[in-house]
Every structure is written in C-alpha cells, then in structure tokens.
C-alpha cells in the first residue's frame, strides 16, 4: 500500500514514510491509494474472532511490507490490551465504550498503535523522531501515555491554556521524561496552526525527523477502524446500525467511513457536533466555511476548521450529494448537552461525559425521524475526565480510578507561551537542544 498527498504534488510513499512524515512535503494529508475490501467471511465471522486477529486483518493491507506480520501482531496485541464493551442504554441505543484504556479516552487506541509503530521504526533508524502534536484535550494525554519513554522519541504537545479539563491537563503535562508540554494562550486552532507552521519550517527538521500524532497521521487515523469492527462483532441485531460519532477534528468518523467503504455494514453515520458546527452547516448549505472555534463543555470537539474534512471530501471524490447520503449531522449547545446528561442520569442511571451526551442527543434526533432504526453511539471519554462539569449537572460525585488518583498527585510541568510562531519555535528548539 502506498499513500499520496491530497495536495497531489509530493510523491507517493509507503506506510513507514507516511507515518514518520505525518504531513507530506507539500503539506497535504496522506491518503491510501485504494481502500481494501474486507472479505465476506471476515465480516460474517467477526463475532468469533479475537481482538488482535481483527486488528491485524484490518491494518495489514495498510501497513504492507513496512512491518513484518509477527511484529504487527505484537503491536496490535499491545494496542488492544483493554476492553471495548458494547453496552445497552435502552431498547434502541447501544454505547461502544472506548474509555477503558490508560487515559480513559477513545484516542488511546490510535495513540498506542502509532507509538508502537514509531517505536519500531525508530529502532531501525539512527535518528531521533520528534512527535509534534496539537490537542484540544484527549489527544495530548493519549499521546503522552503512548509515547512515554519510547526510545528514540521526543514528544512536544501544544494545548490551549484554560481550555482543557484538569484531568486532561495532568495527563499531558505530568509525565516528564521525553514528554514536553507547551501551554498556548489561545485556542485549539492556534495550536494546530503553530504545529503546521513548525512542520513547514526546514530549520526544525535539522533536529530530527518531525512527525505528528494528531489524527492527520495515517497510523492514528486508520487504526481507529478497528473499534468499529469490534462494535459490529458484538452487535446482535439483524439490521445494520446507525452510528453516532462525537466529532471535532473528524478523524474518528472518517475512519468509520473508510471501514464502511471496506464493507462494514453501517446504515448511516451521524456527525454529532457541539456549537462548533462548521460541518453541520456544510451539510445544510453545501458551503464549507470554517470559523474560529468556540469553547464548550465538550472541549475535545472545539475545532473550527477540522483537519480531516478534506479526507472526507477525498473519500467521496468531493461529491456533496454522496456525502449527504452517508452522513447526517446535528449540533448542540452546552445547555442541550447538559440537559441530555441530566436526563440520561435521571431516567437510566447512566453517566455520560459531555461528548458522548452530544452523540446520544444526535441519535435521539435521528430516531425520532427513523423510529425503527437501532443505533450505536461512541462513548469517547470517561465522565470522570470532566468531573467538575458532570458532577454539577447530576449532583453526584464520580469515583476516581486508582491509577488516575496517582496521576492527579503529580506536578504539572508546562511552558506558557503566546500563540506566536517565533515564540513557539524557540521553545521547541530549546526542548530539542536540551534533550540531546
């Protein structure tokens, strides 16, 4: 499998090069030259396969010859070393719980797969690999945990000051070692802009191989297909599900759409958005008009210009009507999100985090118009990660897991910077210079 840049200027590369590069030299996102087709036997027998086998089967065509089968199997086994249960909320809605990993968020899977691929490639190269990543919340913690003490790597995480939860901030700032945090006095879009400028800066490439751990990286993005297959492996209904995905940078739902193209039976995808509703408005008008992001209680979705929107366009050859056929979108204010959390807790004694609550509200909206459809919402984070918000809504404390208690006792280590590239660049150079 080779990968081309969506900008169509850079040459095609293999999985290894695309993973290490993160972005193509022409600053385009990488995209696979073709979407593999899953065999009917594989799809029909999902329920009888173990997690590692499912993961290897899905990712082998994308990896190609870049990683031997025995190493890929080991990587996938470590990536999937926690549970992905499909739990029932009510008669028509199930929740795929993606928050049982080390940082209690769905991004653990992609970050663990990426970190282990990078670790394997780093052993082959006598050159430092620098992971540069912007986060609106959960990516930072997942990347920090996945890459912590991985030999040959240095990780620099940019996050918006005051716009991530206390748990999220501790997870991305408290580890130390090869994990470094830059706290940006701005929003996620500022962080993402600075990261893109850094990748375009040839001087920084003198310090090592720069790559990204955001969902722009193909390893993190494409590996997310695996948990859609794990959901269908547990799906007992005869009809294909509607799947509602909390959507911010759109890597998650885009991975699901790729899995659907490969043959995974999904009736419809729902892009569940908060007040950052650029995609909802796009489906309504046909016009993509990114705006500055606004802060919400579902902060991991606070993205005003989703990076992976262009991959959705690429997947559907820019066909607006075809995109509308496969994806529906609903957007919700903080007030509506809080009301959903309160209602589900009162009526079902289930605590949803703000992102999962947005997905639940969107699924309800779909089912009001399609009463016979059954659906899956993606539970993308543990409610504890947003305890101050959620506990206030439900008037109930959320127990803290023991491993997180230890993390919360650690000291935050970050450098506060203005959202100016010259400042960010100097801090990056300082970090890399001191790590040599």
Answer whether residue 402 shows pLDDT above 80. no
User: Residue 185 in 3-state DSSP?
Assistant: coil
User: Residue 432 in 3-state DSSP?
Assistant: helix
Number of structural domains in the chain: 2
Integer Cα distance of 147 and 168 in angstroms? 16
Same domain, yes or no: 390 and 244:
yes
Integer Cα distance of 119 and 77 in angstroms? 15
Same domain, yes or no: 197 and 249:
no
Answer whether residue 97 shows pLDDT above 90. yes
Answer whether residue 363 shows pLDDT above 90. yes
Residue percentage of the chain with pLDDT more than 90: 76
Integer Cα distance of 285 and 302 in angstroms? 21
Q: Do the domain assignments include residue 55?
A: no
Residue 149: what pLDDT? 87
For residue range 179-192, list pLDDT tens digits in order: 999 999 999 889 98
Confidence of residue 123 (pLDDT cuts 50, 70, 90): confident
Same domain, yes or no: 322 and 384:
yes
Residue 360: what pLDDT? 98
Same domain, yes or no: 381 and 413:
no
Q: Do the domain assignments include residue 61?
A: no
Residue 379: what pLDDT? 97
Mean pLDDT for the chain overall = 93
Answer whether residue 290 shows pLDDT above 90. yes
Mean pLDDT score, 292-298 = 91
Short-list 252, 230, 254, CA closest to 241: 230
Mean pLDDT score, 272-295 = 95
Q: Do the domain assignments include residue 305?
A: yes
For residue range 35-62, list pLDDT tens digits in order: 999 999 999 999 999 999 999 999 999 9
The backbone torsions φ and ψ at residue 295, rounded to the nearest 5 degrees and listed phi first, read: -80, 135
For residue range 226-280, list pLDDT tens digits in order: 999 999 999 999 999 999 999 999 999 999 999 999 999 999 999 999 999 999 9
Same domain, yes or no: 94 and 114:
no
Confidence of residue 429 (pLDDT cuts 50, 70, 90): very high
Same domain, yes or no: 177 and 284:
no
Same domain, yes or no: 96 and 239:
yes
Q: Do the domain assignments include residue 246?
A: yes
Q: How many CA atoms lie within 13 A of 375 on its CB side?
A: 24
Short-list 169, 216, 160, 155, CA closest to 191: 160
Answer whether residue 436 shows pLDDT above 70. no
Short-list 415, 332, 318, 419, CA closest to 341: 332
Q: How many CA atoms lie within 13 A of 326 on its CB side?
A: 18
Q: What is the DSSP letter of 23?
A: B
Task: State which residues form the domain around 300.
Answer: 84-106+224-394
Mean pLDDT score, 147-164 = 91
Better-predicted residue by pLDDT, 403 or 386: 386
Answer whether residue 166 shows pLDDT above 90. no
For residue range 69-78, list pLDDT tens digits in order: 999 999 999 9
Q: Do the domain assignments include residue 362?
A: yes
Residue 259: what pLDDT? 98
Same domain, yes or no: 347 and 205:
no
Answer whether residue 127 shows pLDDT above 80. no
Mean pLDDT score, 78-96 = 96
Q: Burial code of 324-342, b = ≥16 C-beta within 10 A, e = fewer?
A: eebbbbbbbebebbbebbb
Same domain, yes or no: 191 and 315:
no
Confidence of residue 128 (pLDDT cuts 50, 70, 90): confident
Same domain, yes or no: 431 and 305:
no
Answer whether residue 354 shows pLDDT above 90. yes
Q: Do the domain assignments include residue 167?
A: yes
Short-list 431, 430, 425, 426, CA closest to 193: 425
Q: Do the domain assignments include residue 54?
A: no
Q: Do the domain assignments include residue 31?
A: no
Q: What is the DSSP letter of 283?
A: H
Same domain, yes or no: 126 and 209:
yes
What CATH number corresponds to the domain at position 231? 3.40.50.1100
* CB-based contact 344:357 (threshold 8 Å): yes
Same domain, yes or no: 201 and 328:
no
Integer Cα distance of 242 and 178 in angstroms? 41
- What is the C-alpha radius of gyration for the chain, rounded to an integer number of angstroms? 20
First-to-last CA distance in the chain? 35
């Amino acid at each position: 499998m080779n990968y081309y840049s969506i900008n169509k200027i850079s040459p095609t590369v293999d999985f290894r090069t695309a993973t290490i590069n993160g972005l193509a030299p022409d600053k385009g996102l990488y995209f696979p030259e073709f979407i593999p087709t899953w065999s009917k036997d594989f799809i029909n027998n999902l329920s009888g396969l173990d997690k590692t086998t499912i993961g290897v089967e899905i990712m082998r065509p994308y990896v190609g010859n870049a990683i031997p089968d025995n190493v890929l199997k080991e990587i996938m086994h470590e990536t999937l070393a926690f549970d992905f249960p499909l739990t029932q909320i009510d008669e028509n809605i199930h929740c795929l719980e993606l928050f049982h990993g080390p940082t209690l968020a769905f991004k653990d899977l992609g970050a663990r797969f990426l970190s282990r691929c990078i670790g394997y490639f780093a052993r082959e190269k006598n050159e430092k690999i620098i992971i540069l990543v912007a986060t609106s919340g959960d990516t930072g913690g997942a990347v920090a945990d996945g890459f912590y003490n991985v030999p040959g790597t240095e990780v620099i995480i940019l996050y918006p000051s005051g716009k991530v939860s206390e748990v999220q901030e501790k997870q991305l700032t408290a580890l130390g070692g090869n994990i470094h945090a830059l706290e940006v006095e701005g929003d996620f879009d500022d962080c993402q802009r600075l990261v893109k400028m850094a990748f375009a800066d040839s001087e920084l490439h003198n310090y090592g191989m720069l790559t990204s751990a955001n969902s722009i990286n193909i390893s993190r993005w494409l590996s997310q297909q695996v948990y859609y297959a794990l959901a269908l492996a547990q799906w007992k209904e005869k009809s294909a599900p509607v799947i509602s995905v909390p959507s911010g940078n759109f890597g998650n739902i885009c991975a699901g759409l790729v899995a659907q193209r490969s043959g995974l039976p999904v009736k419809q995808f729902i892009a569940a958005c908060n007040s950052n509703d650029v995609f909802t408005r796009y489906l309504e008008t046909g016009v993509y008009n990114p705006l500055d992001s606004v802060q919400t209680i579902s902060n991991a979705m606070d993205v005003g210009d989703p990076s992976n929107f262009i991959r959705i366009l690429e997947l559907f050859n820019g066909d607006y009507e075809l995109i509308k056929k496969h994806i529906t979108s609903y957007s919700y204010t903080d007030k509506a999100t809080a009301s959903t959390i309160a209602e589900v807790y009162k009526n079902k004694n289930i605590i949803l985090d703000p992102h999962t609550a947005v997905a639940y509200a969107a699924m309800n909206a779909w089912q009001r118009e399609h009463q016979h459809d059954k659906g899956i919402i993606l539970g993308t984070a543990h409610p504890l990660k947003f305890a101050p918000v959620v506990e206030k809504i439900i008037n109930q404390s959320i127990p803290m897991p023991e491993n997180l208690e230890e993390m919360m006792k650690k000291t935050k280590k970050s450098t506060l910077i203005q959202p100016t590239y010259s400042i960010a660049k100097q801090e990056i150079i300082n970090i890399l210079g001191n790590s040599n």
